[in-house]
Copies of this chain bind each other. A is one copy, B any other.
Amino acid sequence: MKLATLKDGTRDGKLVVVSKDLTRYCAADNIAPTLQAALDNWDEIAPKLEALYTDVEHQAVPTERFHEREAHSPLPRAYQWADGSAYINHVELVRKARGAEVPESFYHDPLMYQGGSDNFLAPRDDIPLKDTKWGCDMEGEIAVVTDDVPMGVTSEQAADHIKLVMLVNDVSLRGLIPGELAKGFGFFQSKPASAFSPVAVTPDELGDAWKGSVIHLPLMVDYNGKAFGRANAGVDATFSLADLVAHAAKTRDLGAGTIIGSGTVSNQGPEGDPGKPVAEGGLGYSCIAEIRMIETIADGEAKTRFMAPGDTVRVEMKDAEGHSIFGAIEQKVVEA
């Protein structure tokens, strides 16, 4: 099924069930007022939402026109957002650009940071930026939402705790990252509010494209109206989303509604080619930092600048038939 949260003036919005083609919705707040409430009691609530989804698909209930611009992030705020690095190619490029090796451990022990989850942006909200020197960047990623996950689960067990899948634009302030990482405590100011896709879907909606807790489809990232990234999320994933959930649960239980991200989707390209613009037949990039690294490796310096007020980003994923699965994240950077 497909779920969304409509803006209704409250902090947590209103839960709705959305038709597979994203054109219609039916309010589900009589089943659970919010998506968090549904996740808090998923085993009991999900079958009721599924039944409503069937009715929506069969036009057996009245529905209204679904507008992606009216949607919040599916969880407008969450109790946990942790972002991993499944696509080590991204990390390899970062390191290569500064002449550093990737530690061997990165291939079996995922990188993961704890992100802020108190105030997500809606998928069509502007990205407020106070200072262009902060180096604003997008990161196109996949994210999953779990129910309650007990401490110490295996990857296989973790897979069963993945209840919903969505896309995320993990906004990053590249200019603030080196200073913060040098302090040793990880990202904080360098990771302002992220935005998620208008719709979250259950893994079964992905059909054959959901295999081994990875989506085997290209992530479409457009920048200022042009194709920028088409990396396939099913290629070069060193870790699955289930691996990342298990990593997060190693020393503690995870509460229902925990969001775990894949990190920037990034492919090696043919014959280890680290990347080529989409316009030149390459797979492109899911973030600006990556094209800057390619430029640095090739020419000794980065030419593409980071985002400034007026720049736009679009993140979407389409199924084999070319239909949008999650709706599109569409954001513009504005002066804060």
Contact = CB atoms under 8 A, between A and B. Distances in A.
Nearest to A130: B152
Nearest to A79: B118
B253 A119 contact: yes
A247 B111 CA distance: 25
Interface of A: 11, 40, 77-80, 82, 103, 105-106, 109, 111-119, 128, 130, 134, 151-152, 173, 176, 181, 183-193, 247-248, 250-258, 336
Nearest to A12: B40
A125 B82 CA distance: 25
A186 B114 contact: yes
Given A11-B40, A128-B151, A152-B336, A252 B186 contact: no
- 4 nearest interchain CB pairs? A186-B186, A118-B255, A79-B118, A80-B118
A96 to B, nearest CB: 16
Copies in the complex: 2
A251 B173 contact: yes
Q: Describe A's contact surface by its main secondary structure.
A: loop
A113 B185 contact: yes
A183 B102 CA distance: 10
Contacts of A112: 185, 188
> Which has the most chain B C-beta neighbours within 10 Å: A82, A130, A185, A247?
A185
A252 B192 contact: yes
B113 A193 contact: no
A117 B82 CA distance: 11
Contacts of A109: 183
Contact of A254 (B118, B250, B251, B256): B118
Given A128-B151, A181-B185, 10 more contacts: A11-B40, A77-B79, A79-B119, A114-B114, A116-B252, A118-B258, A130-B151, A130-B251, A185-B186, A192-B252
